[in-house]
C-alpha cells in the first residue's frame, strides 16, 4: 500500500509524477504548523539522502577497485577508444 507521510508533506507536489499508481490527490490542508519548519526539515532530509548516496557510490567504487576492476570512467574511456579505433578502420 502506498502512503504519503503527512508529517513530511510540505505540499510541493513532487510525489505526484513518480507515483506508480497515480493515486495521490492533493487536498487543501490549512493547518500546517509551520510550513517553513517543514520545508527546512525536507531540505535536511534531502541533503542527508544526497550525502548517503555519495557515500554509497564511493564505497561501491572502492569495492570495485579492491576487486581489481577498473572504475566506470576507465571503462567508458576504453570503450570510446575502441569505438574510435573501429571508426578509423572503416
DSSP codes of every residue in 14-25: TTTTT-TT----
pLDDT at 32: 55
* 6 pLDDT more than 70: yes
b/e per residue 9-38 (b: at least 16 CB within 10 A) = ebeeeeeeeeeeeeeeeeeeeeeeeeeeeb
Model pLDDT for residues 33-87, shown as the tens digit of each residue: 677 777 788 889 889 999 999 999 998 888 877 777 667 788 788 889 988 888 8
Residue matched to cell numbers 539522502 = 49
pLDDT (mean) for 25-35: 68
User: For residue 52, what pLDDT is reported?
Assistant: 92
User: Taken in order 79, 85, 87, 90, is the CA torsion positive or negative?
Assistant: negative
Going by pLDDT thresholds of 50, 70 and 90, the confidence category of residue 17 is confident
Amino acid at each position: 500500500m502506498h502512503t504519503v507521510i503527512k508529517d513530511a508533506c510540505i505540499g510541493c507536489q513532487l510525489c505526484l509524477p513518480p507515483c506508480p499508481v497515480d493515486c495521490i490527490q492533493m487536498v487543501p490542508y490549512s493547518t500546517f504548523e509551520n510550513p517553513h519548519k517543514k520545508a527546512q526539515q525536507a531540505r535536511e532530509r534531502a541533503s542527508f539522502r544526497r550525502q548517503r548516496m555519495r557515500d554509497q557510490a564511493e564505497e561501491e567504487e572502492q569495492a570495485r577497485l579492491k576487486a581489481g576492476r577498473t572504475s566506470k570512467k576507465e571503462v567508458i574511456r576504453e570503450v570510446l577508444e575502441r569505438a574510435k579505433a573501429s571508426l578509423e578502420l572503416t
